[in-house]
Chain A
């Protein structure tokens, strides 16, 4: 009975926790996808993340910044030093002031942050029909259902709204966007990019790849974190077992 009560107590407290995550939800959950980085031990599929970077660079980056990332970070998803230098050198960065007090343009370096497409939010809104393309650095962590939501959003565009839903001028109908009308037009169309590794660039494939890339961008520490977690928890389980043995031994001399 005593044990049961202890368990009941623990169960009640354990039940209290999911209430918090429920609060984060809202709306129906997008279909769960199988991700290379999913589960407890998943890791980022490097090839997919690299293709995803290509999709970001050639499609998303036209409007969306990723200011938390630097080009040097791309080494994490397997790009070589030379590739990173080449990618960085493709952009022009305003630096300075120099010794004459002038600002000047120079090619990008691996240490530079990803170039933002717009100088500020007002400029971004001015050319995007008043909408602000959000920074994508943390998008997977900043949306309920993270990767599943983004994949559903990117593949959830409908040419026509369902019958009876009034059309909103300048907006696009998306099955998964909260409120359904999204300012961003369908960003991905079949064969929009050409993957160097020959992977067919279907909308689904591009959505999957760019989501993998953005998941890495949001949590670049994920693989190191999980690897360390496995070691930490195994160590703690062994330590707990040994401590319990010592506890039994010490308490053995008490008469009960």
Chain B
């Protein structure tokens, strides 16, 4: 219907705007009143932290781009100029560099939280899938960003990763030449990576917006994995979760600040302070730490195409996870059988990360293979079967019920029943 929006704001200026463009009303509804389960633990901070991290990356990135030169002859020196001559350039660059690591730490915790508490299950499948899209975009952005300083690892990492596409039958080599814009990783490659590295974060912003919209349709999951039954189960987002997120943000910033100010190169590789040299291959080419588990999967397979397929498959499989997990119970708290398998999955990811950092020889190949096998088994065999075999613990009647009883034993009345229809 055409006509002014009915505004409840008293302030005449806000009211005037709200009647014509009801963003204040929207924010009031979605960020102030938004009913949120009252039982979040601190793992529910990480979505907000990821959002803040994205903003930090974009802001520092914009200022870095003002001083950076995307040319093979100048890129390395322009980064050094930022470090030495630009006012607080070292701060900008170290925040951006370590911000990438912090972003992956935060997002990986966010993802494992979703895996543990079953946040991907109906009705949140699309919310989850949008998250996987964000992860893929983040990986592409981080990879291209790492190429920009044009150090040895930048160059050789770019060479290794772009060469993966040559494994595609028939058209592979042509695709690689097309990606490079030439016959090796060179200036055209650096130029396009810079362009895309600047573009993709804004695509991420767009998908994050969809991720948040989808979240506000289904509402948040919670540690019990049961839907709120009424107002007694929820609290308004503001001030309860705004302040809780702010506290979490302070802790996150302390960790971030420690990295930036006291160990800025701890997560980096010394070779990237050597200017790129196409004629000298580093002894061990390793990606940044956040890609190591996937790198281990890639190298676990003796066949190049097979390795590439498994590596991409390890992320793409997350898209169908909502349908692979057959258990109607969301939270692992009520899944005694699934819980040890989940923790073994976490361990397999860490072990894969460790193996990815090691030379692909001897025992590390075997370890990578075992880790890879478990990674895929967890999704393709264990989760589908567990749903059928497992007898979940009885679910509480409501979120308020166990909360009011101080989390004590669940009364006998709470019969074992699968997740309520949501």
Contact = CB atoms under 8 A, between A and B. Distances in A.
B267 A21 contact: yes
B6 interface: no
Given A20-B292, A240-B251, A247-B247, A68 B90 contact: no
Contacts of A250: 239-240, 243
Interface string B334-347: 00000000010011
B418 to A, nearest CB: 23
Nearest to B354: A19
A19 B289 contact: yes
B357 A23 contact: yes
Interface stretch (A89-97, A188-196, A199-207, A218-226): A218-226
B304 interface: no
Interface string A118-155: 00000000000000001001100111101000000000
Interface string B212-256: 000000000000000000000001000110011011001101100
Per DSSP, chain B at the interface is helix
B84 A226 contact: no
Contacts of A255: 404
A22 B356 CA distance: 11
Contacts of B265: 141
A246 B243 contact: yes
A256 B403 contact: yes
A239 B38 CA distance: 24
Contacts of A9: 109, 112, 346
Interface stretch (B201-209, B280-288, B377-385): B280-288
A233 B261 contact: yes
A24 interface: yes
Given A232-B261, A250-B243, A17 B289 contact: yes
Residue with the greatest number of chain A CB neighbours at <10 A, chosen from B43, B94, B251? B251
9 contacts: A23-B269, A40-B262, A68-B84, A226-B262, A229-B261, A240-B250, A243-B247, A247-B244, A250-B240
Interface of B: 38, 41-43, 77, 80, 83-84, 90-91, 94, 105, 108-109, 112, 235, 239-240, 243-244, 246-247, 250-251, 253-254, 257-258, 260-262, 264-267, 269-271, 273-274, 283-284, 286, 288-289, 292, 343, 346-347, 350, 353-354, 356-358, 403-404, 406
Given A26-B283, A243-B243, 18 more contacts: A6-B41, A12-B347, A15-B350, A17-B267, A19-B292, A20-B357, A23-B269, A23-B292, A68-B80, A134-B274, A141-B265, A226-B261, A233-B258, A244-B247, A250-B243, A251-B243, A254-B38, A255-B404
